Amino acid sequence: MSISVTQEAFRLAQVFTISRGSRTEARVLTVRVSRDGVTGWGECVPYARYGETPESVSDQIAALPEDITRADLQEALPPGAARNAMDCALWDLEAKIEGRPVWQLAGLERPRPEVTAYTLSLDTPEAMEAQARKHAHRPLLKIKLGTPDDMPRLEAVRRGAPAARIIVDANEGWSAEVYGELAPHLIRLGVEMVEQPLPAGDDAMLAEIDRPLPVCADESCHDRASLPELAGRYDMVNIKLDKTGGLTEALALRDAARSEGYAVMVGCMVGTSLAMAPAVLVAQGADIVDLDGPLLLAEDRDPPLFFDEAGAHPAEPALWG
């Protein structure tokens, strides 16, 4: 089996900003694994927040033995972007060799479309209101917050999209005091969930304060090993394949989280349809789905994932799986 890694960049439709910074393109690594003339592929987004760079992730993949199996991969690499791209590529390769879709190989039910959130980038209140008005037809909006001036932004979004469901993502940008002050206003404005309000590693206070609306762990939850630390602090977990290290662990985390009473969100980094395709399988029946990466792009894979009013559709075999 041969393994190759390629760095690629896909232009965004507009500047995308969160509390940690802005970007104008999605920079991804594409991994291809080939055996006997058949090639499977996967995608990952190395994330600086987790100490990853394109070079470090490429080096992790390059160090793998060419005959590695998906089972061996789970021990060979830690959870993260490198294992994700390899795991998804190996699933795709197996599906193509077997002539059966990944959902069958994984023992899952046939996937269906899932309604996805659409993310509004952090901006001025006026710009965010305009964004909200433009996307007010979408059933679920995700608002990027995490600054000292969040309330005017949230009020503006609600004005722009009075009927949409809203969730917010603070990206570790608040303190316990700020969350406590904002929570009543979030409820007043119909916000259904807040994602990662406090910094990971500094979120123990969530177990000691009132949580009047569900709090979702993102940066605090990577894989099943994260779950013990979340007890009493969070009500929901955000499963992203670039954190779990692939589809294999993502499915296991989903089942483990549900068995421990957590609601499940399935999210993504800003990537292409190739990254979303395996996540659609994890997203089946999730409480919240946030797989809007391709909707934020000016250019995508060919063929792309299909989105309509029913949400993100399962991938065609020509794309993945």
Instruction: Tell me which of 96, 134, 142, 240 is the catalytic residue.
Output: 240
Farthest-apart Cα atoms in the chain, separation: 60
243 is catalytic: no
* Residue partners of 134: CB distance under 8 A and separation at least 6: none
Nearest CA among 146, 144, 221, 218 for reference residue 178? 146
Structure tokens at 181: 């002050």
**What radius of gyration, in Å, describes the C-alpha atoms of the chain?**
19
Neighbours of 64 (CB within 10 A): 18
The DSSP letter of residue 314 is: P
For the question of residue 142 being annotated catalytic, the response is no
Backbone angles phi, psi at 207, to 5 degrees: -80, -10
Hey, is 248 helix, strand or coil? helix
Q: Does a cis peptide bond (omega within 30 degrees of 0) precede residue 303?
A: yes
Which amino acid appears at position 55 of this protein? E
Q: Which residues pair with 16 in a beta bridge?
A: 23
The answer to whether the CB of 193 falls within 8 A of the CB of 167 is yes
What is the rounded distance in angstroms from the CA atom of residue 176 to the CA atom of residue 201?
13
Give the contacts of 76 (CB within 8 A, at least 6 positions apart).
Answer: 64, 68, 83
Which residue in 96, 134, 142, 144 is the catalytic one?
A: 144
**E runs forming strands in the chain:** 2-18, 21-35, 38-44, 118-120, 140-144, 165-169, 191-195, 215-217, 236-239, 263-266, 288-289, 307-308, 311-312
> Among all residues, which ones are annotated catalytic?
144, 240
